[in-house]
Amino acid sequence: MPRRVRHVVYIIGVLAVLAGTWIAQPVAASAPSGFSLPFVGGPYYISQAPGCSAFSHKNVREALDILTPSRTTIRAAAAGTVIFRASSGAYGGLIKIRHAGGLVSYYGHLQRFDVALGQAVSKGQAIGLSGGGSNDPMRGTSTGAHLHFEVRDRDGGRTLPITGLTGLNWSSRTFCSGTATGPRLADVGEGSSRQIAFQEAFQRTGKGTTTDINYGDPSGPVQWFNPADGRSQVGLGYVVQRFANAWLVHDENVDNPRLSVPVYPVDGPILQYWLSPAGVGLGAPTSNRFYNGAGQLEQHFRNGYVLSGGTLATTTKGSWPTRQQCANQGLWYMEVRNVLRLPGSSWPPSMTSSAGPSAVVCTTANRDGYAFHFDAGLNPIHRNQGLWDDGWVARVEGTINRLPNDQRWRAFAFCDDGCRIKIDNIWSWFPLQSWRDQGANVSIGRMVVQNGNRVEIDWYENGGDARVWMQLDRELGMFEVLAPECTEAHVSIAGGAAAIASMDTTLTISATTAAEMRVGFLSDLTGISWQPFTTSLALQLPATDVITERSVFVQLRNAEQQMLCGGSAVSDAVLVDPLAPTASPTLMGDQEQGYTIVINGSDQEDGSGVAWMALIGATANEEAGDTPEADSPFWQPYSTTVTVAPADRYYVWVRDEAGNVSPSLLVVGPGPVTPPPSHSVYLPLVRR
């Protein structure tokens, strides 16, 4: 605006105030063409909008804050391309989508992203989950769960009015308060008590999604369908909705949508096979269809799976392995069930749900212990498996049979996000009580195990990728079953030291193509801000007064914001041992045979171990003085027996591998050896 025009506006405003007539005037509701509210359903209250007296958005006065509950599915307001996807200052988790004409929509305070940078999205496609609550990651400066939504004329440009979007119901003439109701999916789930679940399934699997189903028009509302006889009778079989090209199926009698994914699509030759006599007994679908490694269409059902070459004639089925079949092969049984986080659903879910499995596998234990890994959505290749990454619950069962002997072994159990472990029908007495994004380095307890023990694990995951393992004593060590080792980056704590005593240390990162990084102490780095890449970083590990292992996770991306290592975090672990060792020194021997000091050093259980010792002889009144410096020549590799010269007293120190030093230990010596008496002969002085 030219300077003279600004002055005119200012003067008019002042005169209006002096005249007592300056009030907030309503403006005509308006909205960009083709845009809709970025969610389904509602209504949700509006807490911030243009015209509010306490409007907090100083530079984005056309934005809306809508009180969506945490984990509400947020959708693209119009078709476009994702141009930004990261945590960004006050916005927190922010997605930007560029649309036709250069317009850019902003979606702030998201706690999870479901689209990739550069991805084309259709209008209404799910792009992430809302957040902003006090316990939500990437909440930015938000103080309560809500969605921040705005549209700009270009990225970083001026905000455009959106007060006229369909679904906004204003109770204030200045657009200060009201409600927002998202677009309705016409006829989807109509007549079902689980309509939200039907609509979620329809949105997540329709055109433009990974599953990319062209549903066509619905042929009517939902109805009961009994696959045994093909009839529709209330209370028998499944609740289905037929479309021109696909069905949506929900097992009303078994699935609880608060605990499991209750609605899946079936289409094409797999639908034909499922409806044919050959498909009887498969049960309800428990995954989307996807292309497997052999290029076949595959879909999972309650009692087995279906494979298809693309026609009914090339479609067959198989049964899930049983627990006994896995045991006969010496393998462990793992059953995974999807969990869709519908609004109001509890977490963690219950394994007692009778919902069928989305996958059953016989899996082998690792050579260094027992470790299992599962990914249900972090990587595109796994998204194709039809598993929704809102969460999943698994039961892992097996028998310990790979210990090198039949003795009892200490076992340390770990998991991410949450689990509880039962050994021979006794639940672990140290269950992990916090179920959300705990990181794979959190121990859930220690046990004593031996060959033949039966292990059952209830395992929960809140967002895609997780692992659970048992470390069988220190000799075997821990082994994680993860993706192939990353060759693009390497990290080390304290220069790769096995153990350290201080929480203040250094992280060294090697990654030639990295431009940015984010660092944290949990495997899930969502919510951690990106920072410029550096090869060395001062690190303050979480404080501890016990011996424990600490892990550091680093995620890296290049200048084009492409993730290194496939987006996985590279990590290193170090034993933090803040406790000093002890010793009991004893003087042995005599003057004739010589003297030795026997030093019985010991460290704390699970400590880094006694590695060094220092011994200094002293006179009767001499004090120990300062502890020898780490590079002092008095330090020598630890030995239980040391030969010493006679002295009045000795001072002994022991040091563990982490660098902790014991207090000085006094050993009373035999005193200095008295030399044998000497005799002097004096000759007379003879003068010549």
Distance, CA of 111 to CA of 132 (rounded, Å): 7
Class of domain 582-668: mainly beta
Local structure of 288: helix, strand or coil: coil
pLDDT at residue 476 is higher than 50: no
Same fold, 27-180 and 582-668: no
pLDDT at residue 74 is higher than 70: yes
pLDDT at residue 54 is higher than 70: no
User: What are the residues whose beta carbons fall under 8 Å from the beta carbon of 224, sequence distance 6 or more?
Assistant: 232, 233, 234, 235, 236, 237, 238, 239, 240, 252
Predicted local distance difference test score (pLDDT) of residue 293: 64
Predicted local distance difference test score (pLDDT) of residue 99: 93
pLDDT at residue 29 is higher than 70: no
Q: What is the largest CA-CA distance in the chain?
A: 149
Predicted local distance difference test score (pLDDT) of residue 306: 92
pLDDT at residue 230 is higher than 50: yes
Distance, CA of 656 to CA of 460 (rounded, Å): 38
What are the pLDDT digits (tens) for 563-586? Answer: 787 666 677 778 888 889 999 999
Q: How many CA atoms lie within 13 A of 492 on its CB side?
A: 7
* Domain range 490-576, its CATH number among 1.10.10, 2.60.40, 1.10.357, 2.60.120: 2.60.40
Place of tokens 């097992």: 251
Mean pLDDT of 413-427: 68
| Nearest partner of 332 among 322, 341, 342, judged by Cα | 322
Which CATH superfamily groups domain 27-180?
Answer: Glucose Permease (Domain IIA) (2.70.70.10)
Local structure of 56: helix, strand or coil: coil
Predicted local distance difference test score (pLDDT) of residue 107: 96
Predicted local distance difference test score (pLDDT) of residue 316: 93
Place of tokens 């698994």: 394
Predicted local distance difference test score (pLDDT) of residue 462: 61
In degrees and rounded to multiples of 5, residue 272 shows phi and psi of -60, -45
Query: In this structure, are residues 89 and 126 in contact, taking their beta carbons and an 8 Å threshold?
Result: no
Predicted local distance difference test score (pLDDT) of residue 246: 94
Residue 680 neighbours by CB distance under 10 Å: 4
Residue 98 neighbours by CB distance under 10 Å: 16
Query: In this structure, are residues 631 and 589 in contact, taking their beta carbons and an 8 Å threshold?
Result: no
Residue 90 neighbours by CB distance under 10 Å: 13
Mean pLDDT of 167-174: 76
Mean pLDDT of 189-218: 77
Q: How far apart are the first and last CA of the chain?
A: 128
Distance, CA of 537 to CA of 550 (rounded, Å): 16
16 falls in which pLDDT band (50, 70, 90)? very low
273 falls in which pLDDT band (50, 70, 90)? very high
pLDDT at residue 210 is higher than 70: no
104 falls in which pLDDT band (50, 70, 90)? very high
12 falls in which pLDDT band (50, 70, 90)? very low
Residue 443 neighbours by CB distance under 10 Å: 14
Predicted local distance difference test score (pLDDT) of residue 508: 92
Sign of the dihedral through C-alpha 342, 344, 349, 354: negative
What are the pLDDT digits (tens) for 351-384? Answer: 555 556 777 877 765 434 555 655 443 333 333 3
Predicted local distance difference test score (pLDDT) of residue 613: 93
Question: Mind spelling out the 3-state secondary structure of 311-356?
Answer: CHHHEEEEECCCHHHHHHCCCEEEEEEECCCCCCCCCCCCCCCCCC
Predicted local distance difference test score (pLDDT) of residue 96: 96
Torsion of CA 262, 266, 272, 277, to 10 degrees: -20
198 falls in which pLDDT band (50, 70, 90)? confident
Distance, CA of 557 to CA of 574 (rounded, Å): 25
User: What are the residues whose beta carbons fall under 8 Å from the beta carbon of 552, sequence distance 6 or more?
Assistant: 491, 493, 507, 519, 520, 521, 539, 541, 571, 572, 573
User: How many helices and strands in the chain, by DSSP H and E?
Assistant: 6, 45
Predicted local distance difference test score (pLDDT) of residue 395: 82
341 falls in which pLDDT band (50, 70, 90)? low
Which strand (E) or helix (H) includes residue 305?
Answer: strand 304-308
Predicted local distance difference test score (pLDDT) of residue 14: 34
Predicted local distance difference test score (pLDDT) of residue 428: 43
Distance, CA of 647 to CA of 636 (rounded, Å): 20
Task: Enter the pTM of the model.
Answer: 0.51
Local structure of 15: helix, strand or coil: helix
pLDDT at residue 165 is higher than 70: yes
Predicted local distance difference test score (pLDDT) of residue 489: 84
Predicted local distance difference test score (pLDDT) of residue 4: 37
**Region of poorest pLDDT, from 7-11, 520-524, 605-609, 621-625:** 7-11
Domain range summary for the chain, segments of one domain joined by +:
27-180, 195-319, 323-476, 490-576, 582-668
Q: How many CA atoms lie within 13 A of 45 on its CB side?
A: 4
pLDDT at residue 82 is higher than 90: yes
What Cα–Cα distance (Å) separates residue 204 from each residue in 212, 380, 383? 9, 14, 11
Give me the chain's average pLDDT, please: 76
**122-136, 161-175, 266-280, 467-481: which is most confident:** 266-280
Token representation of residue 491:
């990290």
* Total count of residues recorded for the chain: 688
Token representation of residue 139:
């909440």
Token representation of residue 372:
């299992």
Predicted local distance difference test score (pLDDT) of residue 567: 65
In DSSP terms, which residues pair with 449 in a beta bridge?
409
What Cα–Cα distance (Å) separates residue 207 from each residue in 94, 114, 122? 25, 16, 8
| Nearest partner of 65 among 86, 97, 88, 92, judged by Cα | 92
User: Percentage of residues in the chain with pLDDT exceeding 90?
Assistant: 17
